[in-house]
Amino acid sequence: MDIIRSLDAMQQYSLGAKKRGLRIGFVPTMGCLHEGHLSLVKLARARSDVVVLSIFVNPIQFLPGEDFARYPRPVERDEALCRETGVDIVFYPDEATMYSVDHSVYVEETRLSGGLCGSSRPGHFRGVTTIVAKLFNLVLPDVAVFGQKDVQQSRIIQRMVRDLNYPIDIILGPIVREVDGLALSSRNRYLSASERQDSVCLYHSLRRAEKMVKDGERSVAQIRAAMVSAISLSKSARIDYIEFVNDRTLQPVTVVEEPVLLALAVKIGATRLIDNVVLKLT
């Protein structure tokens, strides 16, 4: 495994790999890797000859008061996991080289980014699309793999690739969960012992919604009310949103008709967690 820090070196490596006829798979991350990230690496490996994983805590996708400064950066552990999982290149750009002091160009998606997390984190997705566009231009991947847990982000990246004509196949990896159902996240380590117990309320509320749909309930209002009741049993939980949207357009729906994406964000103490499921009628 090699580590590349220079932007030019990363681009030159990828250009050389392409000249040799190699297919490049890419997994962009902010580090603090877990099994969810590693599952994406395995998907990239199955579809490419060279796997590049980037680690960059992107400042422009954090809002004022969020956890940019304290976001965990366990560099040695991340490198060890990358070696064990078969990553070929770890790309470690730093903030000073990724963003010029006077940088003024951004990439912005305007249809899918307004609701869900976009409502409570204005400007977040502009930061995401900008950094992913820059990384695509540096890594030059044939395949890029993203996780379903960050479902709105994944839909936005798919739209960006389509609309800006990137020649990249976007692959979505399924959510990886703990034994009790909590979706893996780098931010889970912020949780105290009691908050960790409360955090499973996200998964339990999603399962409750799935059962209601399976049993014939189609009213979004009824299902949301049941989810709110379930989450409110956890003392440290505060709901940011529970939304039912069309899985393609991310527009709100009032009745469950496939495909409906059910997404939620809940603060457990000071830690904001997200999760989702695509509701199926059968």
Nearest to residue 56, comparing CAs of 24, 23, 14, 28? 28
Active site residue 37: yes
Q: Residue 132 and residue 97: Cα distance in Å, rounded?
A: 15
SS3 110: coil
- State both tokens at 13: 């490596």
Dihedral of alpha carbons 204, 207, 213, 219, sign: positive
- State both tokens at 207: 């399962």
Task: Please tell me whether the peptide bond between 259 and the residue prior to it is cis, using omega within 30 degrees of 0.
Answer: yes
- State both tokens at 43: 């998907």
Catalytic residue, candidates 34, 37, 103, 124: 37
Q: Which residue type does 110 have?
A: T
Query: Is 11 exposed, middle or buried (CB count within 10 Å of its CB: 0-12, 13-18, 19+)?
Result: middle
Q: Residue 178 and residue 49: Cα distance in Å, rounded?
A: 30
Mode of pairing for the β-strands spanning 237-246 and 260-268: antiparallel
Q: Which residue numbers are catalytic?
A: 37
